[in-house]
Amino acid sequence: MKRIKILVGSYGSGKSELCVNMAMGYRKEDKPVVLVDLDVINPYYGSSNMKEQLEKAGVRVVVPPLFRTGVDLPALGPEVMSAFAHREEEAIFDVGGDATGATVLGRYKPFFEKEGYEMLFIMNLFRPDTTNERDALALMDTIEAKSRMRITGIINNTHLAQMTTVEQVVEGQKLAEACAKARGIAVEAIAAKPDIAEKLPDAWRDLVWTLDLALHPKARYGF
C-alpha cells in the first residue's frame, strides 16, 4: 500500500467523511498522518471543517489559505508541499468533486508520481453522476483526464443518509464491481454506518469499512 491516498469522486459522494474516518483510523494505530483539504468545490463540507477535532487527535490538517478566500486555484505553496516532504506521515488528500477538483489535483501530478499514490474513486449509487455504469465510467474518465493521473481503486460508499438499507449498499456494490472490472482495478472497500455494516454478506467481511459518522456532523447528507 502507498502512504499517499487521494479520494476523488462525485460531489456529495462522501469523500470528506471517508477522509476523516481514514485519518482517525491511522491515529488509532498511532501512525502520524496529514490530511490535506483540496476541496474547492464545496468547502463548507470539506474535511477541514473538522480541523479542531482532528488536530486534538494528532492529525496534521493542511488547508491552503487561498482555498477559503474565493480563489479557485491556489499556488503550489509550502503547506501542501509538506505532505510530500514528510515521508514519515500517512498522507490523505480530500479532493473536490468533478473536473474542477481534478484540475486542482493535477497541479501536483509530478510530486504524486515521484512519491507514489493510490487514487480511490468514491462511488455512491444515489449521486446523479454515478447512478449507472456508463455515467460512472464517464466521470472516472473526466477525473483522470483533468488530473492526468490514474484511478487505482474504488470504494463503494452507497447510501441515502439515515434511510440507507442493506439492499441499497448491495446494489451499489454491484455497480462498483462492474466499474472496477471495466477498468481493470479492484473495489478496495465497502463503507457503511455500523447498523448496515454488520448486516452485509459475510463474503464481503474483509472489505467492510465501518464508519464513525459522528466524526463529521456537518455532512448531513454527504457522509
pTM value > 0.85 = yes
Domain-embedded: residue 223: no
Tell me the average pLDDT across 194-208: 97
Q: How many whole angstroms separate alpha carbon 126 and alpha carbon 129?
A: 9
Q: How many whole angstroms separate alpha carbon 15 and alpha carbon 22?
A: 10
Number of domains in the chain: 1
Domain-embedded: residue 160: yes
Tens digits of residue pLDDT in 17-60? 999 999 999 999 999 999 999 876 665 566 777 889 999 999 99
- Maximum alpha-carbon separation in the chain: 47
Domain-embedded: residue 222: no
Q: What are phi and psi of 209, to 5 degrees?
A: -120, 105
Lookup result for grid cell 453522476 = 129
Q: How many whole angstroms separate alpha carbon 50 and alpha carbon 35?
A: 11
Domain-embedded: residue 194: yes
Altogether, the residues listed in the chain come to a count of 223
Q: What is the distance in angstroms between the CA of the first residue and the CA of the last residue of the chain?
A: 25
Q: Which domain holds residue 36?
A: 4-215
Domain-embedded: residue 197: yes
Check which CATH number belongs to the domain holding 8 and give it. 3.40.50.300
Domain-embedded: residue 149: yes
pLDDT of residue 69: 44
